[in-house]
Every structure is written in C-alpha cells, then in structure tokens.
Amino acid sequence: VDFARLSWSAPPLVMSKVAPTRRDPDTVGTEDDRKPQTSKPSKPPSVSYFKLFTFSTAPEKVLFLVGCGGGVVQGISQILMFITFSEAFDFAASSSSVRDRVWTAVAEFLRLAAIAFASGAVQSGCTQAFSELQKGRIRKAYFQAVTRQDIAWFDVRTAGSLPSRIQNDIDVMCMGIGDKAGLVALHSSMCVTGLIFGFVRGWRIAICMLLCFPFMGVGAAIMGKAMKDSQGETQSWYNQAGAVAEEVLFAIRTVVSFGTERKELERYTALLGPARKGGVAAQFQMGLGMGYTFAVIEAMYGVAFWFGARLMLDGFFGVFEARILQGGDVFSVFFCVLMAGFALGQLGEPAQSLRGACIAGASFFEVINERPKVEQGAGEDTGLEVVEIDSIVFADVRFAYPARPEITVLNRASFSIQAGQKVAFVGESGSGKSTIIALIERFYDAADGTVSVNNIDIRALRLSSLRKLMGFVGQEPVLFCTSLRNNIRYGSPNASTADLEKACKDAQLDFVSKLPNGLDTFVGSGGSQFSGGQKQRVALARALLKKPSVLLLDEATSALDSTSERMVQETLDALSSTGRKVTTISVAHRLTTVINSDVIFVLQRGVIVESGDHNTLMEQKGVYFGLVASQAGADGVSPSVSRAQVKESAVEEEEKAGSKEGASGKASHGLTVHDEEDPEKARAAAVLKTYKTPLLRLAKFCRPEWICVLPAVVGALAFGAKDPVLAIVLTESMEAFSFPDKEETWDAVKDTTGYFAMLAVSALVGGVLQFGFVGMMKEGMTSRMRAATLEHMLRMEVGFHDDPDHTPAKLSYALQTYAFRAGNMMSGLGAYAGVLGALGVGLGVGFWKSWRVAGMILLSFPVTAAAQAVAMQATMMGSKSDGEEMKMVTQVMSDACNNVRTLRSAGAEASLVGLVERLQEKVVRAGVRRAVLGGFSFGVSQAVTFLVFGFGFWWAGEMIANGTNDFGEAMTSMTCILFGAMGLGTSASFLGDVSKTKLACHDLFQLLDRKSEIDGLSPQGSVPVASKLGQVEFEAVAFAYPFRKEVVVLKSITFKVENGDSVGLCGPSGGGKSTIFAMLQRFYDPAGGSIFITENRTPLSTVDIRWWRSKIGVVGQEPILFDTTVGNNITYGSSDVKAAWLEKCKEMAKIDFLGPDGMETAVGPKGSRLSGGQKQRLAICRALVRDPAIMILDEATSALDSASETVVQAALDNCLEGRTSFAIAHRLSTIQNSKVILVCAEGVIVESGSHDELMAADGVYAKLQNQ
C-alpha cells in the first residue's frame, strides 16, 4: 500500500491502494548460498535506529529533522482539512447562510493549501535528499569495509553475491532513514492529532469507533505478512536463481562446449517455481488483507453514523460538552478518529521499512565492525615500516585453510630466503607451494610457527609497506574490467609515464601497439578480451611497475610462448644486475624455469623434504631428481644439470577468446569516469516516444492464466467503484442529519447503515479477486519472462557474449530487471479496470444528479489527476535507477570482490575505493536534485488537492444558494466527481513507473528478437551418417572476430586431418591456434571458406551443433569449475555415466587428492578450494568421461607438476588412441609424437608435417624447437 497517498486523499472515504510489489531488481540482493534453501534463513539481529545516522553530519541531521517536522505539520493539516470538510455541511440547515458558510470553508481550504504545500515540499524534499546523501557515504564505507577483510573472510563466502548484498542493504537502510521516516512522522502526527480532536468534539463516538480498530488491525497484520513474504522468502528464491544465472553466464564457453544450456536452464527455472508460488500466495493474502480492511472500514462507517445519529437525536452534548451534538460534529469526530485509525494502520509499512533498515544496518555494521585478523585498514596500519626486504624466514610453520581446516597444507615448514636470491618452490600439486606465497604476502597468518621478515615477525610489520615491496604474478592472471593502463597502474598510481613504458617493454607487451586504442583498450570482464598469455604479461607489467624488492612468481611465464618467455625470463634474471637486491621467489611446475635458482625448496605433502641448488639436489638423487627425471622423460631427453638440454618450449595461443582484445577497442567502456548518462537518457527518451508496447505479445507470457482475467476485472471494477458509491451513501447520511423530523432522520440513518454493510461485502470480495488474480497473472508472466530471457541468452552464439555490452554482470542485471519491470504491466489490468469502475460510477451519478455541478467540477479533474500522478512520481523518486554510473559502480565492486587476491597483491584497495567514490559523486548529485524537485512537486500536489476541494465547495454552494440544486443533488454530484477523479489517480499507482516498464519491454523484446547466428539450443542441422567422425578439413578458412573485424585472425587456412590422427598446433603468439579450436567447436562461422567433417565432407554449418559438440571433449588452459561438488563437475555435460567408466577416468586423470568427502567434496566458487593442478585434473576427467570422438587439449597439462604430468600425459596418450586429437602446447615435446604438426603464424599455416619432417625442413618449427 502506498501510504504516502493518504495525505492528499482528503476525505477518509478514499484510502489509496497500491498492489504489493517486490523491490526493483536494481536493489535485489543475492543469497550467499546458491543452492536452494529448504528452510527459512534465520533473521539477523537489528541495530538501534539512531545508529543508522552514524555517517551523517550535523547539518544533515538537521535536514532530516526538518523533513520529519514537515511530515508532522502535514499530518496536522490533513486533520484540519477533515474538520473543515465536515463543518461545511452544516450550511444545509439554513439556506440563508449558505454563501457565508461556503466562503468561510473556502478561505480555510486556501490557508490549508499553503500549509500543505510548504510542509509537503519540506517533508519529501528534505528526507529524500538526506537519504541520497547517506547512500553515497554508506556505499563507500561498506565497500571499503569489505575490501579490507581478510582473504579467509572471502574464502567462506560467495564473492559474486557480495555486490548485490551491499546494494540491497544500502537501499533498505536509506529507505528507512529517507522518505519512509517522513511518512512515519506524517502518520504519527495524523494519528495523535486526529484522536485529540475526535475526543474533544465527541468522546462517546470516538470510543465507539476505537472499539472497531482491533478488527482493522487484523487486516493490517494480513497485509504485513503478505508484504513480508513477498519481499522475503519469495525474493530469496529469485535471488538464488539470479546467482545461478550469473554463474552460468560467467562460464558461458564451458556451458556451450559441454552442451549443458538446457540443463542450466532447467536448474534456473526450478528455482523460479517456488518463487512464483510464493508470490501468488502473497498476492492473495494481500487481496484478503486489503479487502478485509476496507470491509471493516465500511462497516465502521455504518456503526459510527448509526451511533452518532442516536446520540444527536437523544440530545447528548459534544465539543467540550458546551453544546448539543450537531451533524457537523458527528462528521468531524467520525473523520478525525477514522483518519487517526487509518494513520495508525498506515504506520505499518513505513515502520516495517524502518525495522528493515535496522536489520540491514545490522548486516552493514557487522561488516563495518568486524576487525580483520590480518588486514590493516586506514589508521590501523601502525606496524613497523619496511623499506627493503633483506630476509624472509619460515620457522616451523603449520597452516590449514579456514574453509578446510581439517586438511593441513603446510606442516612444520622451515626455510630462509636472503635478499637478492633466486628461490624456487617445486613439488606436486597441492603440496603447499602457492600457500607459501600467500603467507609471504600475509594473506593469512600461520596457525603455528612464525613467518619473519628482516628477523621481525611479519605480524609486527606495517602491511601496506610490506606488500608495496612485493610484486606478484599468478598462474591465473586476473584483470579488472577497465583499461590496460589502469590495470597496470593498480598498486602504483603515481608511477611516471617513463616507468610505465619501461614496465610494458620489460613484460613484452608488444601486442599493445597493434591495438586501436593502445593502453586505453578495454580488457573486458575478467580480462575476457585477451588471451591467457596477454593477461599474464599485463599482470607481469603491473608487478614490475611497483619496482618490488621481492618478486613472487606463481607460474608467471606459464602462458607465454617460448620467445616471449625467454625474453621475459631474461628480464627477470637481469633485475639483480640493476644494483637493486631483487629477491625472486618462484613457484613452478616446469623445472627448467628454476634451474638457475640459488635455492630450490622441494615440498611434499606440506613438508620441505629437500633444499639446495639444482646441482646439489641432482647429486642427492632424491625427490627433486625424480621430478626432473619425470619431466625430462616427458620431454624426451635425459635428466641433466644443463638447462639448455632440458629447455622447455612454450608456445601459447595469443588470441584465445578472440583476440577480442580490442573487441571494444574503446576506452569508453573502461571503468574511468566519463559521461554516459546523456546518451542513455537520449536513448530512453527516443524509445519512450516512439515505441508501442506489444500488449498482446506480453499477454502471451501469461496465456495459462488468461482464465483469471474475468475475476480480476470484475473484482477491480467493484473495488474501484467502491469510492464513488461510498460518496453517494455518505452524502445521503449527511443529508439525513438536516431533516427536521427525528423519525425521518432515524429511518434514513438505518437505510444508509444497510448500504454500508453491502459496501463492506463488495470491498472484501473485490479486493481478493483483484489482487489475487492479477497477482497470478503477474507472477506467471514474470517467471516465464525470466526463463525465456535466460534461454535466449544461452541460445546466442559465443560472439554475442564477446560484446563488452554483454558482460556476465550486465546480462545478469538485464535478466532480473527486464522481467520484473515488464511484469508490472499486468498490474495495469487491475488499475485500468479500477479506473473504469471509479470513473464510470463517479461520472454517471455525478451528471445524473447535477450536470452543472458535475461539468464544472469535471474541469478540475485533469488538475487532480495530474497532481496525484506528480505525487506518485515524487514518492517513487528514491527508487529511480542511477543509470550507467551505478552500473559501473556495481561492476567495480563485482570485480574487486571476485578478484580480491589480485586486488591485495597489487595494493589497489584505495584506488578502487576512490574510483567508486568518484563514480558515485554524479549519482549522489543527481539524487539530491531529484529529491528537491520531487519535494517541490509533492508540495504542489498537496496544495492542488486542497484548492480543488475548495473550488468544489464554492461551486456546489453557489448552486444551492441559487436554488438550481438542492443539498443532496449538489453534494452527491460534487463528491462523486471528486472521488471518481481520486479513484483514477489512486488506481494509476498500480501501474508503478510506466516509463521503466515500457523501456524494459522494449529492451526485453529487442533481446528476444535477436536471431542467433549459431543456435545451440534448437539446432536445425542434421546428424551425418558416417563412421569417421574425427575427420576434419579446413578449406580456405578466413575469420575475424565480430568485435574486431579489422584484424583478420585466420587468413585462408587449409588443412585436412584424417580420422584418428593426433594433431599438434604450435607457433608464435597470435598465430590463430585457439581460434582454430573455437572454429572447430563452431563457436563462430568462417567469414570465408568452409569446414568439413567426416569422410563424406559434410559441411560443419549443416550439422546438428549439439550433436557435434557432444562428440568433442575440451580441456582448456584455465579450467572453469562450478560451485558444486567434485562429482557434479566431473559428470558435467554427461549423462548415464557408468560407475566403472567413471572410476577409470578418475584413475587416468589422477583424481587422488580428495578428502574424506570424496566425490561430494565442494570445490568452492570457481574451484577456489582447489589448487591449479587439481582443477586441471578435474577438467581432464570431465572431458574423458564424455568418451569423445575428438579431444581438444589447450595446454591440458600446463598446471600439473612433473610427476602428475607424466602420469596424466600417459593416460591421455592411451585414451586418445582411436580418436582424433588436437593439442596446443608451449612445450613442443608434448606434441612431437603427433602424427601431424601444424605451425601457425600470422593467421596462416606456414608448415605442416611430422616432427621428423619439420626438423629436417629446418624451418620455423626447427627454430622453435631449438630455442
């Protein structure tokens, strides 16, 4: 219920009503747990309401108090208007005094209009301005508090849900300290003032009416429960569904590769079912509560008038017992007490908002007050300053991750590192190598033992100065959704241009010069616009720009081609020759990258079992010697102390995902402060001006609920007509008090009492029918729209998701917003039917009783309707979308929360907090401007209502004084027209924000109407009848990525692969290797040429794409796992997997690292609870389970240690027998046994043949092999 509307709905006969709605998805939160809940989550504790003002300044608090004061005055003015309204009817007893009484009433209305304007403007403007000011400050504090939490804090939470949770808590908090607080002041003032005047003017009638209020409370309780259910449990299901959709959209390439679009859609729609059922139940509850409340009100009308008439006819005194009760006194008491009761009932929703703000505040302050054990915020970073790092010492360090405390990762690890040393940590996957890096950066504190820097416990050092001296490059580099320049500068915002250029040069960022916008190129969500090698080089440049004292390299060159790796490695090796003591600490699976290390520490199951330089360890012939021997055997050479003899060849596909690196090519997409507000506003304005909402198409989304139309319309007609019919009955009751004969008066009162009873029944039935059945249609439409939208997103070709405007965050936002807002169109059905009922009865009866009065009053109808519409918009102003800037703020928060480790390593927390602050400055300023304008508009709407009533009384009085109409005719005509006009305005509130709804419909259907170039959900192709499914032929294939068409990636490539052949792809970065893989999976169609499969040369474009992808197993360089169990990840995309085959695949992929939970072990968000090697092995197992005809291996063993790699590589070799396989490799030794090796360079195949043939040719391949 939109309780703010009561302030302008003059007589108590009209109570504004708004269909219950959930919050706009702009403020929708996301549950931390993405799995469906079987029980309701426990409620968080609440904080004191006054604590919500913690971040407000003294002037802002004054502003808030002034706004609440305006609400108090507004409430008093409403009661005074009711008294004036009541007393004006006393002129019916004496026609000679009509004009005098009318002019007295009109003068009073004018005075009240001025008061209403001032108080309304102050109430709405001040409270909303205060709310907008607090939003910006609270958002910054919330984000700042989240980013300062320990890494362990993020380990036990779903990072992807944090931005939505932050936004949700902020909106709820600021709503409670904004306009809802003003409404509490208004309704509280109305309640107290109404009771005072009611008891003063007739305490007996007041007590009689108060006895009816408990019955009204039952209706309020029903509505409150319905609203709570609608915004609580139901919204929780939608939030969980949204989390699933976001996870799927983030991993869209994996989903498409494994053909699980339909499965993911079913997982999503399964969560929509309970949400829909809960929403329908809440709507029926709301209808019952609304109908019952109005039924009690109608019944109370009858009881009060019956009792008041009896008192008046029996000669009881009123008004301080100074005179006998008059008709005007009865009406005054009735209206005052009734409106006091209304105000008390209407306190429920805004008071609930205040309570909700306190609950959200508890969540907010829990984060604010949570003191991290490791991280040190501003003012707390008071440890010892570190200028240089001379030594790092681990002494009996034991550690287990907080998310898995039962598994000890490091067990009594002890070692020391001196300044300038080159140190390496090697060992099997999961042995604790990356954990040591995390402890050195102090992401965690050791459970036992000590970590010392410069012989000082690391916990005693200033954390910011410590990390400032460290540069980190991980094996899975993370870039933020901004420009290359900003990504490199994170952690070194004050670096000079010369330093930036040198860091780029040292990191071999030569590809940047080829980009249209250079360093200002947008990198995409998560760096999606660049390949793994490019991202790794950018991350390396970011680390080098810091000029670190310690360089931490966790497989830092694993994604580079051999040439780039050699040059970057030389850069790293040369750091020590610059005069600075740069300590290099490396974690490596490729032992050739650490042979020149001064000290190599060998880890096994969390224990350092060996240490020494390469020669020493080789002489010991221990664990390290075994690792080298295993890896050397995989390379096809003998173990040796010479690096040259065991040099690995790393060749990386540069343009993976598209060399979409410049896909946007536009810095405007970066997270820099820029003005996109005006273009978006212009687009919205153009759409609203020209677009015609396809109502019939919308209605098709709720086709199964069409049977609900009739009861919904009938109920809305009855509910809408109730107000003008009530006006007729009330006028007759007023007229009855003027009858000279008491018996005649009493008979008339008894008749009207019966009419009130009939109205009560009509209100109850009409409310249930309207709200319940409209709710059924709306929930059905919303649910189907959400499902259809996600289905269409999954139906789109991969190129659609490459678009910077279609990042996972933006698509997830659209998925929630479009359906929610478009679904509000169903509310219009009840609204328009209510309008028809109100206007039909109001205009019909009004013109029937007096066309002169009706015609004149009708002239005020547009003004009344406009005033009510303005008021509605003013009250909704706080929920307006903050536009593109708000989306950018959300994207920054999402990037930061999802990549907090990179954020910490770069020391970019302050930079991102500052960026959020800058981005939201425009949002706050716009919000304050809207608040001021909204306050002015709201005040005008209040004043206009008083003026219209004054005009109506004046004109009706003139008609009575002139003898043109009698009292009953004139008053009935006036009240029916006015109440009909108010019925129009109040019914319009069911529509919500019509412009948002229309814009959402446009954007929704624009998306749904987009044709997919490669439809993976409903393929049109055929399944070829052939025995050689692995035969593949590229014929003059040319290709450029959709969002960078000026760069041709493949230039007329031609090759043929026979069924069962093993194919290796190698060559310099950017040659087109990963693009060939994408074309093979038909992520894209060639711009020229053709791709054929099977011995029948069937064009790939004519084949059922789902069938084709089911025949391909893919293992990527950066495996994507889903936030579920190991078992679910392994069988992802496969059905009816036999246990024996599953066990065999697990054995081949060396899945031997599972804990006591086995296959039920949770992998965490994006596999965060597993090491890189463990994730890679799961991905290999997932591909093997499918038993594919073609295997695609994009560095399938790159993240494995040498021991695991040997076993897994042998298993892969065995399982590839009889299958066609394609492999990209950095290390040429892994593909030298391939039957065919394709050497790609500059988009063409420069050489092809077997290893021996290519070596004999002494061409590009031979040079790569000899590097």
User: CA–CA separation, 1077 vs 1190, rounded Å?
Assistant: 11
Largest CA distance in the chain: 125
On the question of pLDDT at 22 being above 50, the answer is no
For residues 61-73, give the mean pLDDT: 92
**What are φ and ψ of residue 807, in 5° steps?**
-65, 160
Q: Among 972, 1259, 953, 1069, which residue's Cα sits nearest to residue 110?
A: 953
| Gap between the Cα atoms of 1046 and 1040, Å rounded | 7
Q: Could you tell me the pLDDT band of residue 1267, with boundaries at 50, 70 and 90?
A: low
Count CA within 13 A, CB hemisphere, residue 271.
23
Residue 331 reports pLDDT greater than 90: no
Q: Are 977 and 121 spatial neighbours (Cβ–Cβ below 8 Å)?
A: no
Smallest CA-to-CA distance from 1222 within 1120, 1131, 1112 is with: 1112
User: Which secondary-structure segment (H or E) carries 572?
Assistant: helix 562-574
Q: How confident is the model at residue 1149 (pLDDT cuts 50, 70, 90)?
A: confident
The number of angstroms, rounded, from the C-alpha of 195 to the middle of its chain's C-alpha atoms is: 46
Please say if the pLDDT value at position 712 is more than 70.
yes
What residues pair up with 1088 in beta bridges, in sequence order? 1038
Bridge partners (DSSP) of residue 443 are none
Tens of pLDDT, residue by residue over 772-788, are 888 888 888 888 888 88
* Span 113-149, pLDDT tens digits: 889 889 988 988 899 889 888 888 888 888 888 888 8
35-51 pLDDT tens trace = 334 344 445 577 888 88
Mean pLDDT computed over 549-576: 68
Asked if residue 941 has pLDDT above 80, the reply is no
Higher pLDDT, 192 or 168: 192
What's the average model confidence in pLDDT over 371-378? 72
Q: How confident is the model at residue 670 (pLDDT cuts 50, 70, 90)?
A: very low
| CA–CA dist 687, 1161 (Å, integer) | 50
Q: How confident is the model at residue 189 (pLDDT cuts 50, 70, 90)?
A: very high
- Specify the range with the lowest mean pLDDT, choosing from 74-88, 442-456, 644-658, 1056-1070: 644-658
Residue burial 428-441, b: 16+ Cβ < 10 Å; e: rest: bbbbbbbbbbbbbb
The overall average pLDDT reported for the chain is 77
pLDDT value for 278: 76
Average pLDDT over residues 456-468: 87
Please name the residue that has the structure tokens 């409404």.
183
Q: Rounded to whole angstroms, how far apart are CA atoms 953 and 90?
A: 12
Give the mean model confidence (pLDDT) for residues 720-734.
Answer: 80
Range in 500-504, 527-531, 852-856 with the lowest mean pLDDT: 527-531
Tens of pLDDT along 996-1032?
788 888 888 888 888 888 887 877 788 888 778 888 9
Q: How confident is the model at residue 32 (pLDDT cuts 50, 70, 90)?
A: very low
Percent of the chain with pLDDT over 90: 5
Radius of gyration for the chain, computed over Cα atoms and rounded to the nearest angstrom: 37
Identify the band that residue 599 occupies on the pLDDT scale cut at 50, 70 and 90. Answer: very high
Distance CA 126, CA 63 (A): 6
Q: Please say if the pLDDT value at position 218 is more than 80.
A: no
Q: What is the pTM of this model?
A: 0.60
- The pLDDT score that the predictor gives to residue 185 is 92
Q: Cα torsion for 206, 210, 211, 212, to the nearest 10°?
A: 110
What is the per-residue pLDDT across 525-557, written as a single tens digit (0 to 9) for each?
Answer: 566 667 666 777 788 888 888 888 888 888 776
Does pLDDT of 356 surpass 80?
A: yes
**Which tokens hold the place of 916?**
């959020």
Given a contact cutoff of 8 angstroms between Cβ atoms, the answer to whether 875 and 4 are in contact is: yes
Instruction: Tally helices (H) and strands (E) across the chain.
Output: 41, 22
In this model, does residue 1036 exceed pLDDT 50? Answer: yes
Question: Residue 992: what pLDDT?
Answer: 62
Task: Identify the weakest region by mean pLDDT among 198-207, 224-233, 876-885, 1120-1129.
Answer: 876-885
pLDDT value of position 14: 31
Segment among 11-25, 564-578, 713-727 with least mean pLDDT: 11-25
Residue 643 and residue 591: Cα distance in Å, rounded? 9
Band of pLDDT at residue 1189, cut at 50, 70 and 90: confident
313's tokens = 């006819």
Mean pLDDT computed over 330-350 = 80
Report pLDDT digits (tens) over 879-935: 444 456 676 777 777 777 777 787 777 777 777 787 778 877 877 887 888 888 778
Say which residues have a Cβ less than 8 Å from residue 753's Cβ, sequence separation at least 6.
302, 303, 305, 306
Measured between alpha carbons, how far is 1123 from 1162 in angstroms, rounded to an integer?
A: 7
| One-letter amino acid for residue 376 of the chain | Q
d(CA 649, CA 565): 9
CA distance 4 to 985: 13
Contact, 891 vs 143, CB < 8 A?
A: no
Start-end of H helices in 1029-1117: 1073-1080, 1105-1110
pLDDT of residue 833: 81
Q: State the average pLDDT over residues 247-256.
A: 82
pLDDT(675) > 50: no
1198: its two tokens: 């790159």
pLDDT digits (tens, 9 = 90+) for 398-430: 998 887 888 888 988 899 998 888 899 988 777
Q: Is the dihedral of CA 1073, 1074, 1079, 1084 positive or negative?
A: negative
State residue 232 phi and psi, 5-degree precision.
Answer: -105, -90
